[in-house]
Each structure stands twice: as structure tokens, then as C-alpha cells.
Amino acid sequence: MPSDNSEEIDFLQKLCNNILNTAKHIRFAGIINDEGKLLVGKYRPDIKAPFIKGNTDSEHPKATSFYSAYEILALQRKFQSDLGNMKFQLTEFDRVTLVSIPLTAEYNRFLCISIDDGDAYQLIPKIFDMMT
């Protein structure tokens, strides 16, 4: 991943755009840092509003589903020494599936994706292919 902040933001935005173009079921693709702050992100153009209003609250990043996803990853990370590196976290709700993927070995950047009624298990390998 590029080290310069503007290069990094450009790289991350392109990654999010590419992920959104992968399938019509992907509602949102964004990158958060280890404090839950949304660095870049974009909803699919036909999405009028997010399900959770707090997801756009830049003043309170810990009140978002993105930060919640980070917390789950951080809790699960303690098992890596026994189980190996964590590849992704998937949470299925009735209305949406949330996928969180650590992007760095330092666990300071996370890809967060929300998926409508598509099959997340088919989309995840495509997303990993894009990231390599």
C-alpha cells in the first residue's frame, strides 16, 4: 500500500470504487482506521441513505457500524497465535451482510463492505483477488 497520505487515499478510493463495481449487491465499500474513522468510502449510486444514520457521523466515529466491525476484529485477533491470521469477519443481518477485512499487518486499516441480498461467500474471493 502506498505510504504517502494522498497516494494512500487515492489508492484506497480506487479500491473502494473497484469493489463497488464488482456486483450490484454491494451497497457500500469503505476503509476505516483503527480508531473507527472512515478514511474513504462510497455508497452505490442508487442508495438514497444508509440503513444506519450514524455511519455518516464524522464527529463520533465510534458510534458507527464500521467501528463496531473493527472492535469485533480486534477481539478476534487474540486467537491468531493459535489459529493463524484472520482473513475477514462476516456478520449477517436480515437486511444486510457486513464484511470486514484487515488490509495491513499492523491492523490499522480495514476494508468494510455492506452487501444486500447477494451471496457474500461468492463475492469475498472476488474481492480478495482485487486486493492482490
pLDDT of residue 18: 94
Alpha helices in 21-90 (DSSP H): 65-77, 80-83
Average pLDDT of the residues of the chain: 83
Give the per-residue pLDDT at 11: 93
Q: Is the pLDDT of residue 38 over 60?
A: yes
Residue 53, pLDDT score: 57
The number of beta carbons lying within 10 Å of the beta carbon of residue 26 is: 23
Tell me how far apart the alpha carbons of residues 31 and 11 are, in angstroms, rounded to a whole number.
11
Q: Could you give the percent of the chain with pLDDT greater than 70?
A: 83
Which residue range is the domain that position 55 belongs to?
5-131
Q: How confident is the model at residue 64 (pLDDT cuts 50, 70, 90)?
A: low
Neighbours of 13 (CB within 10 A): 17
- Say what percent of the chain tops pLDDT 90: 31
Tell me the C-alpha distance between 30 and 41, whole Å: 4
> What are the tens digits of pLDDT across the range 95-128?
889 999 999 878 789 999 999 877 888 999 999 9
pLDDT over 60 (residue 61): no
Q: Per this entry, what is the length of the chain?
A: 132
Helix (H, G, I), strand (E, B) or coil at 91: strand
pLDDT on residue 31: 93
Cell of 33: 482506521
Task: State the maximum Cα–Cα separation within the chain, in Å, rounded to a whole number.
Answer: 43
Question: Grid coordinates standing for 74?
Answer: 480486534
Q: What is the dihedral of CA 127, 128, 129, 130, to 10 degrees?
A: 50
Q: What domain count does the chain have?
A: 1
Cα 129 from Cα 18, distance rounded (Å): 11
CATH code of the domain covering residue 79: 3.30.450.30
- Is 70 exceeded by the pLDDT of residue 67? yes
